[in-house]
């Protein structure tokens, strides 16, 4: 029996702010060699002798980044379930399980922020758990190696007859104080958040504990908009769903929870507790990504995109520097980053929360300068990308090609621009930009006008059905 991966690719990645932003959350942060969190997870379960096509759950605003990421690793068969609003992990897992309920298959539920070094052992563990995991919800646990309050833990129970599984006597998600005996005792395992079960078992169990949540998700799925392999959940019912994790909704309550003691090397890299484990450490246990140095410092981490960052005579410090933000904190205060994030939300600093890059089905744009009366953007159009035929009521635009060949439509004229060539688009002129060539197209756009807002757009034609 093949296994269907369900990949949880939603959320805004606030634990990794300011590297992660709403418009470019942690799912799309590069881990190594051009591969991001999301791609790394998909590749892990891409053996079609073992796994079915994946089901990916994400927010509507991240659909195009998901599809672009899949294209770059040559994954062409998949389903995407789009959440109209984020509801933690229980609701999307229920939606995927309902989508598969009629199929006689196993599902493997995977967060995207894990690093697994020996992936062959991971696959062997999953296959071994499948063989004995009928009618259970199997969570993969590992031995504690250090205390981290963002993890849950489970206490081993009796071994299940004729299996390599054990019942879970106690499951606690994100305990306030992890008892020292849990760290050292053979009775306890760290919860990895990876689950193996069947759609039917999960739905039957949810029906015992969260019947209203199940009802709203089902109604949202029944009324979903389906376009080929993309399922867009209906908003009104989904908005009524409780925002709750699968851990609190089900795992802490279910009598069918079983544990498999995993033998693969695992790390949660979804926060700054362990994100620096991706980087080589020097003799003083310091690590740097980007532009920085250490002097007389120990156990420190620098992540600096552009600014040169020097750390002098510090211990156990983490310094994150981006284009618009610098944050420094003690390694034990990682959880306090969310307090900063919450304050920014309250005070309306949307630019710092959302970031200056916006993704579209054709590529993305980056706001370089925003000032009164003018805005400067860098626009990247992927091969085959085609912006909508559009016009604006309040602004004119100037396009200059930096790289590639642009095919430009302005009213009735269609022409090409090459490197360093420019054109002007008057207010209210119908216009379109497209990339008909095999090279990435990069242009600089200068907007001039009294209202420089993204909602100032009239679309007449659009290959991505946004008219």
**Which CATH number goes with the domain that contains 224?**
3.90.550.10
Instruction: Please list, in sequence order, all residues whose beta carbon lies within 8 angstroms of the beta carbon of residue 37, skipping any fewer than 6 positions away.
Output: 26, 27, 28, 29, 31, 112, 113, 269
How confident is the model at residue 157, as a pLDDT?
84
The confidence score (pLDDT) of residue 185 equals 66
Q: Which domain holds residue 79?
A: 3-264
Asked if residue 202 and residue 71 are part of one domain, the reply reads yes
User: Where among 230, 264, 298 does a domain terminate?
Assistant: 264
Q: Is residue 229 part of a domain?
A: yes
Half-sphere exposure of 98 (CA within 13 A, CB side): 23
Q: Are 442 and 379 in contact (CB under 8 A)?
A: yes
Please check whether residues 74 and 15 belong to one and the same domain: yes
Does residue 451 form part of some domain?
yes
Verify that 380 and 437 share a domain, yes or no.
yes
111 and 167 inside one domain: yes
Query: Would you say residue 345 lies in a domain?
Result: no
Same domain, 79 and 132: yes
Task: Tell me if residue 94 falls in helix, strand or coil.
Answer: helix
Is residue 247 included in any domain, yes or no? yes
Predicted pLDDT of residue 180: 54
Q: Tokens in use for 55?
A: 């089901």
Alpha carbons 139 and 308: distance in angstroms, whole number: 43
* Three-state secondary-structure class, residue 114: strand
State the DSSP H helix or E strand holding residue 305, giving kind and residue range, or none if neither. Answer: strand 301-312
Query: CA 354, CA 23: separation in Å to the nearest integer?
Result: 5
CATH assignment at residue 451:
2.60.120.10
Structure tokens at 92: 């999307």
pLDDT for 144 equals: 74
Please check whether residues 202 and 282 belong to one and the same domain.
no
Number of domains in the chain: 3
- For residues 158 and 61, state if they share a domain: yes
Instruction: Compute CA distances 424 → 427, 433, 448, whole Å.
Output: 10, 12, 11
176 and 245 belong to one structural domain:
yes
Positions of E strands within 361-440: 363-371, 374-381, 389-391, 395-403, 406-410, 413-417, 422-425, 431-434
| Of 384, 394, 376, the residue nearest 447 (C-alpha) | 376
Residue 17: name the closest of 366, 350, 341 by CA: 341
Within-domain flag for 322 = yes
Cβ(18)–Cβ(328) under 8 Å?
A: no
End residue of a domain, out of 284, 312, 340 = 340
Q: Name the pairing type of β-strands 389-391 and 458-461.
A: antiparallel
Residues 377, 325 share a domain: no
The per-residue pLDDT for 279 is 86
Please give the backbone phi and psi of residue 76, each rounded to the nearest 5 degrees, phi first.
Answer: -110, -15
Residue 307 sits in the same domain as residue 177: no
> Beta-carbon neighbour count of residue 279 at 10 Å?
15
Indicate whether 135 and 245 sit together in one domain: yes
Q: Determine the pLDDT at residue 405.
A: 98
**Residue 146 maps to a domain:** yes
Among 289, 312, 340, where does a domain finish?
Answer: 340
Whole-number pLDDT of residue 213: 97
Q: How far apart are CA 252 and CA 175, in angstroms?
A: 12
**How many Å apart are CA 265 and CA 252, to the nearest integer?**
25
Beta-bridge partners for 378? 366, 444
* Global pTM value: 0.88
Please classify residue 180 by burial: count the beta carbons closer than 10 Å to its beta carbon, then call 0-12 exposed, 13-18 middle and 19+ buried.
exposed
Residue 239 pLDDT: 96
Flag residues of the chain having pLDDT under 70. 103, 133, 145-151, 173-185
The answer to the question of residue 347 being in a domain is no
| Residue 348 forms part of a structural domain | no
Same domain, 35 and 138: yes
Encoded tokens for 259: 């544990």
């Amino acid at each position: 029996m093949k296994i269907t991966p369900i990949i949880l690719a939603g959320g805004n990645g606030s634990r990794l702010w300011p590297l992660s932003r709403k418009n470019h959350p942690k799912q799309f942060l590069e881990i190594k060699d051009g591969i991001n969190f999301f791609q790394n997870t998909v590749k892990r379960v891409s053996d079609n002798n073992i796994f079915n096509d994946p089901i990916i759950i994400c927010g509507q605003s991240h659909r195009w980044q998901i599809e672009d990421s899949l294209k770059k690793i040559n994954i062409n068969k998949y389903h995407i379930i789009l959440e109209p609003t984020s509801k933690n992990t229980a609701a999307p897992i229920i939606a995927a399980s309902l989508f598969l309920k009629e199929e006689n298959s196993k599902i493997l539920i995977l967060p995207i922020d894990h690093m697994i070094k020996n992936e062959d052992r991971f696959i062997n563990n999953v296959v071994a758990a499948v063989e004995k995991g009928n009618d259970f919800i199997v969570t993969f646990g590992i031995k504690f190696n250090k205390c981290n309050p963002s993890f849950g833990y489970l206490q081993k129970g009796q071994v299940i007859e004729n299996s390599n599984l054990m019942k879970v006597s106690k499951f606690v998600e994100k305990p306030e104080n992890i008892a020292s005996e849990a760290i050292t005792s053979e009775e306890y395992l760290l919860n990895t958040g990876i689950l193996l079960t069947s759609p039917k078992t999960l739905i039957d169990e949810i029906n015992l504990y969260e019947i209203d949540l199940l009802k709203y998700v089902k109604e949202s799925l029944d009324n979903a908009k389906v376009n080929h392999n993309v399922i867009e959940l209906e908003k009104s019912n989904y908005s009524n769903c409780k925002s709750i994790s699968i851990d609190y909704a089900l795992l802490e309550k279910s009598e069918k929870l079983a544990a498999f003691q995993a033998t693969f090397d695992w790390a949660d890299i979804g926060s700054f507790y362990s994100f620096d484990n991706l980087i080589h450490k020097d003799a003083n246990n310091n690590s740097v990504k980007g532009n920085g140095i250490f002097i007389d410092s120990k156990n420190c981490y620098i992540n600096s995109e552009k600014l040169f960052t020097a750390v002098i005579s510090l211990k156990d410090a983490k310094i994150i520097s981006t284009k618009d933000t610098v944050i420094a904190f003690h390694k034990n205060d990682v959880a306090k980053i969310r307090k900063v994030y919450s304050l920014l939300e309250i005070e309306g600093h949307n630019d710092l929360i959302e970031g200056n890059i916006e993704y579209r089905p054709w590529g993305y744009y980056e706001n370089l300068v925003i000032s009164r009366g003018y805005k400067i953007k860098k626009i990247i159009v992927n091969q085959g990308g085609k912006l909508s035929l559009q016009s604006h009521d309040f602004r004119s635009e100037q396009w200059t090609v930096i790289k590639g060949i642009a095919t430009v439509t302005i009213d009735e004229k269609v022409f090409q621009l090459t490197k360093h060539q420019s054109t002007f688009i008057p207010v209210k002129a119908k216009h379109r930009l497209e990339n008909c060539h095999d090279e990435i197209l990069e242009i600089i756009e200068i907007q001039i006008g009294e209202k420089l807002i993204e909602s100032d757009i009239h679309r007449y034609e659009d290959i991505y059905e946004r008219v």
